[in-house]
Amino acid sequence: MANPTGEQAGLVLDRFVETMFRLMMDHHQRHITELELTLPQAQVLKLLRERPMCTGEVAAELGISAPAVTQLTDRLVRKCLIERRAVDGDRRSVQVALTPRGRRAVDRFRERRRSVFNSVLESLSSEDREYVVFALGKVIVALEGCESRAASHRSKASNPSRDRKRSRTAKGLQN
């Protein structure tokens, strides 16, 4: 498609995302079934790959309740995939972190996912592969911009009293 309109490009990107989503869900399902995990448990492991977190942070990141996180982490502790750690200086707080076994599971998952991507990209000519990688890099930057704007809107929405104060101040300045 030579010089597609924004709408045409959007349709292609939408089809790409849907196809990739189906492929990744199939991949996720096979891998988590193999590890005897639920999807939420796998999400916790993926989240903890970056760093240990307090259970409240995990709940906020996943958009679930603290009791739900407790249930998830209890099961992952029993499977020896994560461990609980005391937080220095705060006896009431507990962090959860990947165990070596949990890290290996997450790393295996990522390696398998990359192999799926690699096989797709290897089916393209080197010129097409170069173009796809270049174009996707630009799409990622654009998506990250949308993501940061959405996060900014969410933080404003989470503090409506601050916005009401600004609104009253602005009205006072207009009078």
For residue 74, give the nearest of 88, 50, 47, 55 by alpha carbon.
55
> Between residues 34 and 127, which one has the greater pLDDT?
127
For residue 53, the SS3 value is strand
Residue 163 CA, chain-centre distance (Å), reads: 29
pLDDT at 155: 64
pLDDT at 159: 55
For residue 75, give the nearest of 37, 122, 35 by alpha carbon.
37
Main-chain dihedrals φ then ψ at residue 98, nearest 5 degrees: -65, 140
Q: In what order do the strands lie in the sheet with 82-87?
A: 53-54, 90-98, 82-87
Q: Please, which pLDDT band fits residue 169 given cuts at 50, 70 and 90? A: very low
If you average pLDDT over every residue of the chain, what do you get? 84
Angle between helix axes 100-122 and 6-34 (nearest 10 degrees) is 140
Choose which CATH entry (1.10.357.20, 3.30.497.10, 3.40.50.11540, 1.10.10.10) describes domain 11-123.
1.10.10.10
pTM: 0.66
Tell me the per-residue pLDDT of 86-119, one tens digit each, with 9 for 90 and over.
Answer: 888 887 888 999 999 999 999 988 888 888 889 8
pLDDT at 158: 58
For residue 75, give the nearest of 111, 105, 45 by alpha carbon.
45
Contacts of 41 (CB under 8 A, 6+ apart): 32, 72, 75, 76
Tell me the per-residue pLDDT of 27-50, one tens digit each, with 9 for 90 and over.
Answer: 878 877 888 888 899 899 999 999
pLDDT at 6: 79
pLDDT at 126: 95
> Between residues 143 and 171, which one has the greater pLDDT?
143
For residue 80, the SS3 value is coil
Mean pLDDT within 162-171: 45
